Structure 1
Amino acid sequence: MDWNWLWDTSEFVTRNHCGPGWTPELIGLYIVSHAIIALAYFAIPIELYFLYRKDWDDPHTTRVFAMFMSFIFLCGLTHLSDVAAFYWVPYRLYTLLYMITAISSAITALNLPFLVARLVRYPSPAFVNKLNDQLREEVQRRAEAEREFARRDEILKARLSNLEDVLKNNKIKTVEDLQRINQWIHERNKAIEELHKLVSEWETP
């Protein structure tokens, strides 16, 4: 099949010869506007690619994003063809480009609702920030509890050491000594209860 007819410009004229209204100023503004639009459409798929590659890993999402990027890129080509039409007019080729863009646009539009339905399930930034704040508070609370646990553990060890020293050396000679020992035992039991309570609070999520 001969495809040269797609490139044939012999039956067409450039756009600036299509009517007397195409003044140099209008042509310049038209070309610059469509060129900027085309460049923007070429840049958007690149930016979407890096966004997609970083944040998503879903085959269905991949397919929709690929269609979306293709559609935007093709739209950029259509605007570029509007610029080229002032200098080169293979309108059959341009029409084929418009048909491909139309098909790509329709397919993307039909698949986009499925992508939106998936994306709305992702947590909002406000929810993520709130969760991060809660996690930071929990980490801080547990760190404080751990420091308090270590402090009370040292106090308990010191009291037990004193009690063992008294019992080992048989220093209980008076009623006051016995009362002091009872006080130490009471404080030891109280310290153990406090440590158990602290550990229980620390382990509770």
Structure 2
Amino acid sequence: MPDLDLVAQALARNVRRFRADRALTLDALAARAGVSRGMLIQIEQARTNPSVGTVVRVADALGVSIARLLDYDEGPAVRLVPQEEAVTLWSTPQGSSAVLLAGVESPGPLEIWDWVLQPGQGHDSDAHPAGTMEIVRVEAGTLVVTLDGVEHPVPQGTTASYEAGRPHGYHNPGAEVVRLTMVVSVPAPVA
């Protein structure tokens, strides 16, 4: 896993760069992302470890994937991401986690994730931009995807897809660990 300071520096550098590329002021990006101007200043100065929700909102507002926002190394035409360089976006002391394996930008942000949810744990997500699609493939256990307040059990060996432009969640109410792979496709930003 990359050093958290390295990730914070990459986040700071990339937010500044993408904001400048899009000619957005701090106030304009704050309004688009729904985060405070002060939080953006702290992010751009690498003085904070923002929440997952904040990173997602900033990435969405900039029209880039989380992978691109956290990318700390520009690489060759084929980019290999060894497991030890994958970025853990959130984790719990009990062992649940979401690890960003890789992401690309064309035509819109596309990300692939490796998730582990320990028994009784879960993660709720704010709505992504309209048109965002998620696909989950459950490798172990039974995942419960909550969408519009309705629970959808997804058993081992099953793949589910859904529009993620509304609040949603991923939960493990069972007694065994849930392992899943998730792909997130965000529509290209409208100019």
Which TM-score band (shorter chain)?
Answer: under 0.3
Larger Rg: 1
Provide TM-score, normalisation by structure 2.
Answer: 0.22
The structure with more strand, counted as a fraction of residues? 2
Provide TM-score, normalisation by structure 1.
Answer: 0.21
The structure with more helix, counted as a fraction of residues? 1
